[in-house]
Amino acid sequence: MIVKPPFELLINRRRFVHASVTLGLLAGLHRIAPAYAVEPSGLKASSVGDSEANGIDLLVREETLQFGERRGAAVTINGTVPGPLVRLREGRDAILRVTNGLEEDTSIHWHGLLLPPGMDGVPGVSFAGIKAGETFTYRFPVRQNGTYWYHSHSAGQEQAGHYGPLIIDAAEPEPFHYDREHVVVLSDWTSENPMRVMARLKRRQNYYNFQRRTVGTFFDDVASNGFKATVTDRLEWGRMRMDPSDISDVSGFTYTFLMNGFAPESNWTALFQPGERVRLRFINAGAATYFDLRIPGLSMTVVAVDGQHVQPVTVDEIRIAIAETYDVIVAPKEEHAYTIFAEAMDRSGFARGTLATAQGMSAPLPPRRQRVVATMADMGMGDMAGMKGMSGSEGKKGGDATNMAGMKMPATTMQAMDPTPPATDAMSAMPGMKMPGVKIDAAPMADSMTKSAPVKHGPDTHGPGNSAVPMETKSRLDEPGTGLEATGTRVLLYSDLRSLRPSEDLRPPGREIELHLTGNMERYMWGFDGKKFSEAEPIKFYYGERVRLTLVNDTMMNHPIHLHGMFMELDTGAGPFKPKKHTVNVKPAERLSLDITADALGNWAFHCHVLYHMEMGMFRVVSVIGNEGDAS
C-alpha cells in the first residue's frame, strides 16, 4: 500500500492521467513532502489501497524541487523525494505498476526483497529496464517482513531522488511491543547532475574534500604526537599518494543532508506521547554518505537490522552504512523535544529532525565533532599502527583513543568489555520486550568476543586497478569505526548483533570464495580483485550449496557491499545466531566472512552501494546455477 499524498490524491488506473498533471503543477509551486513525513500521529503512517487486490501505481518523472537553500532537478516518484511509502503485507502478492515519465530508461530495485530475478529491477542483469513512456508491472509473492527500501538502478537517478521506503507488515505478531512508529529516511541531495559529480571525481578524486590537512594541522599533530611520529605519518601517506582526510568521496560542499526529504533547517518532526514506546525505522538511502546516528538523551534498543529481527541490544549511537536499515525502540519519558541527529561520517554536515510531543518544538543540536582522518591501521600498516592519532581525529584528547592496532579502546564503546550480555541488558532496559517461543542464551558466546589474528596479504597485488595493498588485514567487527572510538557514547558494533532465531541452514560451508575490494584513487577506479565489471566473469554459486564469501578490503575507504536475491549471514562468532544482512559494511583493511545459502536460481547483482564506486566498476554478477557449467 502507498501512503496518501498530502493533498489527498489517490493514484489509480482511472485517475492516473489527472494525477500526473496535478503532480507536475504542484511540484512547480512548492516542496511536496511524502505523507509519512508529515503524519501527525498514529501507530502507522496512513496508507491507502491494497497491493494484492488493486495494485500500486508509481509515476517516475523529473521535477524542480527546493531543499534548504539549494534548488535543482530531481527524479521524483509520485511527485516527492523521497518517494511514497510502499507498504506490503507478508504472505500476499505484490502488484506494483511503475510508469516512466522520464525521457530515459528507468527502473526500481526492491532492496533486500527475496523475489524472482526478473522482478529484481537491475537493467542488464535479468531485467530490460523501463523505457520512456512505458509501464512495467512488478508482480511477486511477499516472503518476508521488516524495513526495506526501493530505488533506481539506472545511471545516477538514485542520487537525483529516485528512492523511497518499503515496509512489510508481518503476518504474525512481532516479538516486541511498541505504541507508535515513524519511518526515517536519511539521504544526500545535490543540485549538481550526478554524472557531473562522477566526472569531477574521475578528474580529481578529492574534488569535494575541503578538509585536507594543512601546515596548521601539521603543527597541531607535532604538539599532540611529537615531531618524529608526525613526519613519519606524513611521509607514509605521501608515499602512498593518498589523503587520510578522504573519508567520503562527496561531502557537504555539494550535499544537503536530508531527513525524510527535509533539510536540517526545516526540522522534520515526529510526534510521541510520554511513556510510549516508539519504533523508529531508519533507512540510509544516501548515494555516498554514511551517517552517525544518535538521539541525545535517549538510548536506542536495536530490534531489527536490514529487516531481520535481532536479539535486542541497547546503544547510544549507530553508524548506519549506505543501504542499511535499523529498527530501534525508544521510550521517551519526558514531555519535551529530542533531536534526531545524523552526522555525516566525514563531519561535513548533518541531517536532523525532532522527536517531540507537539509540532514546532525543537531541541538543541549536539556539538559538532572534529573532522575524521584515517590512520595507518586503516591501511593495514601493521607496525606503523602503534603511532598516536593524527590531526582531526577524536584521539586528540589522548593517544589511546585511536582505532590503531594495539591501542586500547574505551569501555564505553566496547560491547565486549561489558560483562552484561547484550540481550539481557536490552530487555531489562526496555520492559515489555517479549520474545514468545524464543529462548536466548544469556551468556555471550566466547568466540564472538575473540578478535581474529591479522592475516598477511598475499603476493597478488591485483594489478593497476589497485593502488595500495595493506600489509595485513583483520576482523574489525568489534570496532565502532573511524571517528567513533572515544565519543563517550555506546556505539553499536557488528559483534553485538545476534539473530533472534537460529539460522535455517546450519550446514558448514562447502567452499570459500575470497574477494578483494580494490581501488585506484588517482584514477578513480573501483572493482573486485583489481577488475572492474566489464573485465570480470560472473561469480558462480551452485544451487542449494552453502558457500562462504570472504571479503578483504584493500582500500582505505569503507564499502557497503550488497548482494541481491539472497541474505548473507555475517560471521560475528555467534554460531547459529549469525545475523542476516542484505548489505554489509567492510571497514578499511578489514577481512570478514559471510555464509550464504544459494537458494535463488538466476543472475543477481553484487556491488558496492556507494553509487560512484558501483558506477566506476565495483559491481559483479552472481550466477546461481543448477549444475556445474549450466546456467539456469
Number of neighbours of residue 226 by Cβ within 10 angstroms: 14
Q: Provide the pairing of β-strand 93-100 with 56-67.
A: parallel
Q: What are phi and psi of 545, to 5 degrees?
A: -80, 160
What would the mean pLDDT of 379-387 be, rounded to a whole number? Answer: 52
Counting every residue written for the chain, the total comes to: 632
Which of 26-30, 68-72, 188-192, 209-213 has the weakest average pLDDT? 26-30
What confidence tens digit (pLDDT) does each residue in 20-49 have?
Answer: 433 333 333 335 678 888 754 334 443 434
Nearest to 545 by CA among 593, 603, 595, 503: 595
Q: What are phi and psi of 119, to 5 degrees?
A: -100, 0
**Strand, helix or coil at 187?**
strand
Number of neighbours of residue 179 by Cβ within 10 angstroms: 15
- Sign of the C-alpha dihedral, residues 597, 598, 600, 603? positive
The Cα angle at residue 101 between residues 100 and 104, in degrees rounded to 5: 75
Distance CA 182, CA 373 (A): 34
Judge whether residue 215 has pLDDT over 70: no
Estimate the crossing angle of helix 215-225 against helix 227-239, to 10 degrees: 130
HEC string of 110-147?
A: EECCCCCHHHCCCECCCECCECCCCEEEEEEECCCCEE
What would the mean pLDDT of 310-316 be, rounded to a whole number? Answer: 98
518544538: which residue's cell? 361
Which of 21-35, 92-106, 395-409, 427-441 has the weakest average pLDDT? 395-409
What confidence tens digit (pLDDT) does each residue in 467-497 have?
Answer: 888 889 999 999 999 999 989 999 999 999 9
Longest Cα–Cα distance in the chain:
74
What confidence tens digit (pLDDT) does each residue in 340-366 have?
Answer: 999 999 999 999 999 999 999 999 999
C-alpha distance from residue 273 to each of 205, 260, 298, 341 (Å):
47, 21, 14, 20
Distance, C-alpha 29 to centroid of its chain: 32
Strands annotated E in 217-316: 256-259, 268-271, 278-284, 291-294, 300-305, 308-315
- Sign of the C-alpha dihedral, residues 223, 229, 232, 236? negative
Distance CA 338, CA 353 (A): 9
Nearest to 169 by CA among 51, 36, 38: 51
Which residues lie closer than 8 Å to 439 by C-beta, 6 or more apart? none
Nearest to 192 by CA among 152, 154, 151, 159: 159
Higher-pLDDT residue of 441 and 32 is: 32
Distance CA 44, CA 33 (A): 17
Question: What cell was used for 176?
Answer: 516486541
The Cα angle at residue 507 between residues 504 and 511, in degrees rounded to 5: 125
Which of 38-47, 134-143, 433-442, 563-572 has the weakest average pLDDT? 433-442
Q: What is the pLDDT of residue 82?
A: 98
Number of neighbours of residue 169 by Cβ within 10 angstroms: 17
Distance CA 77, CA 61 (A): 7
Nearest to 34 by CA among 87, 71, 72, 104: 87
What confidence tens digit (pLDDT) does each residue in 390-417 have?
Answer: 444 433 333 333 333 333 333 333 233 3
Contact indicator for 411, 417 with CB cutoff of 8 Å: yes
Burial 509-534 (b: 16+ CB within 10 A, else e): beeebeebbbbbbeebbbbbbbbbbe
Strands annotated E in 262-373: 268-271, 278-284, 291-294, 300-305, 308-315, 317-320, 325-330, 338-344, 350-356
| DSSP-assigned letters across all residues of 213-236 | --HHHHHHHHHHH-HHHHHHHHHH
Question: What cell was used for 603?
Answer: 543472475
Contact indicator for 306, 112 with CB cutoff of 8 Å: yes
In the chain, % of residues over pLDDT 70: 73
Judge whether residue 288 has pLDDT over 80: yes
What confidence tens digit (pLDDT) does each residue in 551-596 have?
Answer: 999 998 999 999 999 999 999 999 999 999 999 999 999 999 999 9
Distance in angstroms between the alpha carbons of the first and the last residue of the chain:
33
What is the number of helices (H) and of strands (E) in the chain? 6, 32
The β-bridge partners of 188 are 257
Which residues lie closer than 8 Å to 155 by C-beta, 6 or more apart? 104, 194, 195, 615
Q: What is the pLDDT of residue 282?
A: 98
Contact indicator for 252, 351 with CB cutoff of 8 Å: no
Q: In this structure, what DSSP letter does residue 471 have?
A: S
| DSSP-assigned letters across all residues of 177-219 | --SEEEEEEEEEE-SS-HHHHHHHHHH-TTTT------HHHHH
Distance CA 80, CA 77 (A): 6
Distance CA 21, CA 100 (A): 14
Quote the pTM value: 0.82
Contact indicator for 60, 98 with CB cutoff of 8 Å: yes
